[in-house]
Amino acid sequence: MIIYPDIEIQDGRSVSLPRGRKEDATVFEISPLKAAQNFQLAGAEWLQVVDIDGVFQGGRFNSGMICEIIDDVDIPVQVAGGIRTEHHVDWWFEHGASRIVLGTAAIKDNQLLRHVCHLYPDKIVVSIDVRGGYVLIDGWQTRTSFDPITLGRSFRDLGVAAIIYTDIDRFENHPESSLAGTSEMGTELDLPIISSGTVRTLDDISLLSLLPNIHGVITGQALFSGTIDLKEAITLARESGVDPSLAEEGVRPQRASPTPTGQTIPPNYTTMGQELLDLHRAHTEGAVSVAEYQTARQKILTRFDQ
């Protein structure tokens, strides 16, 4: 599973929109370019860069800064935000984008999506943003009548490279939110699914890596705020494997119990992700054998799924 650090740019600044509203943006002191450089140094395999002004207005508003990032880093950049015409698509590929993300345009204009997928095979990603079971467009401002599974299936034969599934309920910390919707997307669709809006802790990385067909995770605020260390997140994303038993019912909370490793790792874990990460470190440092590692890892996952 690939971690996509998410750099959202509004008025030239690195931001996050906690409730999806541009007027409530959290502004980070680090510049978008410096953030991109730091993510690359931490081992990022991809970056996603979003023109937030473009999301709400359509068009290119922070293209100069985004192009500076594309030119500076040595890893592929996926560009999103305000890309709603064939001209916009062409322009971004001419200026070095590795992939582009269509959201509103993909849903409103199926012919455009079909055409650009033909022109740029395996380079067009579609974003499906969901709240309360329905797909939203126009920067989460307009609710459509589409359900995400039916919409996703309609993209299957067009040559779409992947689908970004944004769980807005979980992103907004709705008390009843779970990973069930994300799990269903991965189970029902044979397109690669990239999860968005679902990561606040290392535990979330571990849970998502257990779900079927989740090829990537987009996370921004947790990285900018320091809640998650990118190197540790990448380690967990590469370490865990799919648990088919989670396909139908999604992810349930982990039950608290002592660590099964027998090592001198603190037993009072607050997240399964941190426990798996410490076990991985113990294994790579030679403190546990391969057999002990596999047994301990399975016990952690089994305990989580009880």
Q: Where are the domains of the chain?
A: 2-243, 253-306
Average pLDDT score, the chain: 85
pLDDT in tens, 146-185: 999 999 999 988 999 999 999 888 877 765 567 888 989 9
Instruction: Give the model's pLDDT for residue 273.
Output: 60
Q: What is the model's pLDDT at position 207?
A: 87
pLDDT of 238 > 60? The answer is yes
- Note the pLDDT of residue 200: 87
Catalytic residue among 6, 51, 53, 129: 129
Active-site residue identified among 6, 8, 184, 203: 8
Q: Is 249 a catalytic residue?
A: no
> What local confidence, expressed as pLDDT, does residue 271 receive?
57
Q: Both tokens of residue 81?
A: 């935000």
Percent of the chain with pLDDT over 90: 56
Counting beta carbons within 10 angstroms of the beta carbon of residue 159, is it exposed (0 to 12), middle (13 to 18) or buried (19 or more)?
middle
Q: How confident is the model at residue 224 (pLDDT cuts 50, 70, 90)?
A: very high
pLDDT tens track for 188-200: 999 999 999 889 8
129 is catalytic: yes
Model confidence at 257, pLDDT cuts 50, 70, 90, reads very low
Give the list of residues 6+ apart from residue 161 with CB closer than 8 angstroms, or none.
99, 122, 123, 124, 125, 192
Q: Is the pLDDT of residue 111 over 80?
A: yes
Domain range 2-243, CATH class: alpha beta
Q: Over the stretch 40-91, which tens digit does the pLDDT of each residue have?
A: 999 999 999 999 999 888 888 999 999 999 999 999 999 999 999 999 999 9
